[in-house]
Structure 1
Amino acid sequence: MDFNLPDTALAVQDGVRAVAAKYDNAYWSECEEAHRFPIEIFTDLGKGGWLGLNVPEQYGGGGQGLLEVAIANETLCASGGGAGTFFYVTTPGFGATTLVRHGTEEQKQAILPGIAVGDIQFCFALTEPNAGSNAIEITTSARRDGDDFLIKGQKVWISNVENADWMVAVTRTIPAAEATPRYNGFTLLLVDVKEALAAGTLSYTPIPKMGNNILCSSQVFFEDVRVPAHNVIGDIDGGFPVLWDVLNPERIIAAAGAIGAADAALAYAAKYATEREVFGRPIGANQGIQFPLAQVKAKVELARLMTRKAAWLFDQGLPCGNEANVAKLTGSQVAWEAADQAFQTLGGMAYSKEYPVERWMRDARIVKNAPVAEQLILAHIGTSMLNLPKSY
């Protein structure tokens, strides 16, 4: 049992850290306040190959695994850009992982080289107003029209559609009420976002939100969006296994980003507690300040171990659903706890936007709900790991 990171992951850590060092907390805060996509750091990451880590070498990528993608995201977020998790969830996660594992050779050749250098971005359209974690109930339909499919329906909380070149759209080609079993009838389709927007068949409305404003989360409307049949990912009517194969990496990447965000908050709090003096000594010398930070640090290290284990299992082709869910649960919890404790350490100054702590708190809060809410993860752990009766 070897807990050392492989040389590939260490190289990723060094490379992403070097890029991220050029972009300080003020940069991320400016992008957040302006609701502006951090195109400068995204471009630098793409040029360095850090967004194409899990793209096979024959398509211009790094030929590495989910572990390296997770390490890249953890490192980026540890630099202070917690919302940068979306870089790795939307494109290396939803884009590269899906196509590498389930795409056709034609799809891979057309898209993966662009992902590898940061020229192509992705979004993923699953959640609907009446179907969130209960994906079985989605109603967005894709009906056959000659050699094409026509998508009709609505999605919500779709992140990065405004920047995306391609979308993985989760549709039903058999309504849930008619499918036997009910998870049958799913079809995943590659949508050319810019083409559909230009045609007027795809539209989106950004949702005002409290944090993570470096990119939009939107309501998305499909009005007979035309997609060629050769853009099906996996099998027609048989896309449910593909969907779940995408969701585990999403949870692992999100957990890694949450851990990086926790690292950033703890490092900032510890530095402040070392420098800030009250009653003639650093406040960090007081156990009332030191112990809560130490408690969160211990939880961060535990979450880090589970996240890396989950990524390693995925890369080995082994079942990783339990580990991915535990990683997501613990990672999101420590991100929030670290931000909250950093806020408490800085006292009233943390409320000021002069400091990044209030931004980290806003960014960290959503990770407890998305992707997948804590309650659903706990239900999974209860039934799948403890063999308790199903609660939903």
Structure 2
Amino acid sequence: MDFNLPESALAVQEGVRAIAGKYDQAYWDRCDTEKRWPEEVWQELVEGGWHSLAIPEEYGGAGQGLLELSVALESLAAGGAGGAASFMYLLTPAFGGLTIMRHGTEEQKREFLPKIVSGEIETCFAITEPDAGSNAINITTQARRDGDHFLVGGQKIWISGVERADFLVLVARTIPAAEAKPRTAGFTVFLVDIKDAIAQGTLSYQPIPKLGTNTVASSMVFLDDVRVPAERVLGHVDQGFAVMWDILNPERILAAASGVGFGELVLQVACDYARDRAPFGKPIGANQAVAFPLAKIKAQVELARLMTYKAAWLWDRGRPCGSEANIAKLTAADAAWQAADRAFQTHGGMAYSLEYPVARMFRDARIAKNIPVAEELVLAHIAQHELGLPKSY
């Protein structure tokens, strides 16, 4: 058993940290206030190949794995990006790159992967629906065959990054839920050309006003008989449930990596303030009431890091990792939230001032307890599959 990161991951850690170090908290505050994508950082990641680490070398990538991708995301978050880092590694590197790499045909890989590597193509993911929420089995977006195409109709909600993406990795039903036997049958995953569908008037979207994570928009997406060529199916028709889960597990692992890095960053901000603030003649960090909660959160972050690396290691080896991915996401999200909450308390009244980044961090950290899966559903999964308790939903 070796707990040292491989040389490849250490190089990633160093390279991404160097990029993150060029951008201070004022930069991330501006991106959040202006509700704009951190384009400068994204371009540096693309130019250095830090976004395409897990894409095989034959398509222009680095030929590494989800572990290195997780370390990159963690490093970007810890280096200053915080919650804004998450979608920079989920939208295109994971939803597009990993999914096409694992489930695309050879033709799809040669068409899309080199363009993802070069930055020509960006992607996003659409599964959640207004009336289904976390219950993906109940999605109603339908795709029906029409010759060499499928016609896709329905609504998706909380689709992040659609405003800048070229392709939408979309989950739809090709067999209605009432007719599917078993219930997990009849799902199909499509690559939808967003700009073409908008030009045809069959796809539109409406951004949703949000509390935080404003460096990327999240939208309601409307699909009105969007025409998708049959060769744009990822995996097999009616057999997309396995593809869907192979998207969701890496999503949770990367979300966990984001939580670990975010927690580390927020702890640094809180500790810097606790060392400098001395209203009674000595730093407030000398008081155990301030120091001990921060120390406890440090322990939580380190434990979450271990489980995140384990889950990524398992995924890279093709081994089952559902429970590990869920546990990593659960613990990392809670560690990031506890860190943000404690940083807020450590700053006292100054936490309310927008001159400090803690208000933004507080807003951004909270959502991780709800997405990409609510912690209650994670706990239900652990109770059933790890403890053998009766199914609760």
TM-score above 0.5, yes or no: yes
Distance 2:11 2:121 in 1: 24
- The residue that corresponds to 1:320 in the other structure is 321
- The residue that corresponds to 1:223 in the other structure is 224
3-state SS in 2 of match to 1:343: helix
- The residue that corresponds to 1:46 in the other structure is 46
- The residue that corresponds to 2:56 in the other structure is 56
- Is the 2:21–2:80 Cα contact (8 Å) retained in structure 1? no
Distance 1:160 1:147 in 2: 28
Query: Aligned-pair distance for 1:118?
Result: 2.7
- The residue that corresponds to 1:295 in the other structure is 296
Cα displacement string for residues 90-109 of structure 1 (whole angstroms, at most 9, x for unaligned residues): 11111111111100111111
3-state SS in 2 of match to 1:80: helix
Distance 1:134 1:280 in 2: 55
- Is the 1:191–1:231 Cα contact (8 Å) retained in structure 2? yes
Distance 1:127 1:193 in 2: 17
- The residue that corresponds to 1:167 in the other structure is 168
Distance 1:373 1:311 in 2: 20
- Is the 1:142–1:173 Cα contact (8 Å) retained in structure 2? yes
Query: Aligned-pair distance for 1:300?
Result: 0.5
Distance 1:124 1:212 in 2: 17
**Paired residue type of 1:216:** A
- The residue that corresponds to 1:181 in the other structure is 182
- The residue that corresponds to 1:204 in the other structure is 205
Q: Give the 4+ runs in structure 1 shifted more than 4 A.
A: none
3-state SS in 1 of match to 2:347: helix
Query: Aligned-pair distance for 1:114?
Result: 1.7
Distance 1:118 1:254 in 2: 22
Query: Aligned-pair distance for 1:119?
Result: 2.7
- The residue that corresponds to 1:80 in the other structure is 80
- The residue that corresponds to 1:261 in the other structure is 262
Query: Aligned-pair distance for 1:117?
Result: 2.8
Distance 1:118 1:42 in 2: 9
Alignment of 1:31 onto 2:26: no
TM-score normalized with structure 2 length: 0.99
3-state SS in 2 of match to 1:92: helix
Cα displacement string for residues 334-381 of structure 1 (whole angstroms, at most 9, x for unaligned residues): 010000101111111111111111111111111000000000000000
- Is the 2:65–2:316 Cα contact (8 Å) retained in structure 1? yes
3-state SS in 1 of match to 2:332: helix
After superposition, the CA RMSD in angstroms is 0.7
Q: How many residues align?
A: 392
- Structure 2 gaps of 5+ residues are none
- Is the 1:123–1:159 Cα contact (8 Å) retained in structure 2? yes
- Structure 1 gaps of 5+ residues are none
3-state SS in 2 of match to 1:36: coil
3-state SS in 1 of match to 2:80: coil
- The residue that corresponds to 2:143 in the other structure is 142
3-state SS in 1 of match to 2:304: helix
Distance 1:387 1:197 in 2: 47
Query: Aligned-pair distance for 1:121?
Result: 1.1
- The residue that corresponds to 2:373 in the other structure is 372
Distance 2:112 2:92 in 1: 11
**Paired residue type of 1:130:** D
